[in-house]
Structure 1
């Protein structure tokens, strides 16, 4: 399992911030949400197994 990069988190946080209407003063909230989403995606990808080898 790989850790999300700072750039990945920054891009996801920016997207979440824009979707929320660009509210001020909630940088840390969006950063944490983005980081958690990326970690959850990574975890779900490692749990999947290929249908064929």
Structure 2
């Protein structure tokens, strides 16, 4: 995994964990949620970068 991508996922997972009140034994849950969000953002960025005519507005 790209170190920048992994760092962004780790940061997002920690934010989610903190917002949830620091629960124990849920690190996998927060990691998976963060990974899904960050990868989705990356996919959207890549799509917009490759085709500027694409819009995120519906």
User: TM-score by structure 1 length?
Assistant: 0.72
Check conservation: 1:13, 1:33, Cα contact below 8 A: yes
The structure richer in helix per residue is 2
User: How many residues in Structure 1 have an aligned counterpart in Structure 2?
Assistant: 49
Q: Report the CA distance between 1:4 and its aligned residue.
A: 5.5
Q: Report the CA distance between 1:16 and its aligned residue.
A: 0.8
Any stretches of 5+ residues in structure 2 without a counterpart? Answer: 54-58
Structure having greater relative contact order (Cα 8 Å, sep ≥ 6): 1
Any stretches of 5+ residues in structure 1 without a counterpart? Answer: none
How does 1:1-53 map onto structure 2 within 5 Å?
A: 5-48=5-48, 49=52
Distance 1:19 1:3 in 2: 24
CA spacing shift, 1:26–1:39, aligned 2, 3 Å: same
- Structure 1 runs of 4+ with >6 Å offset: none
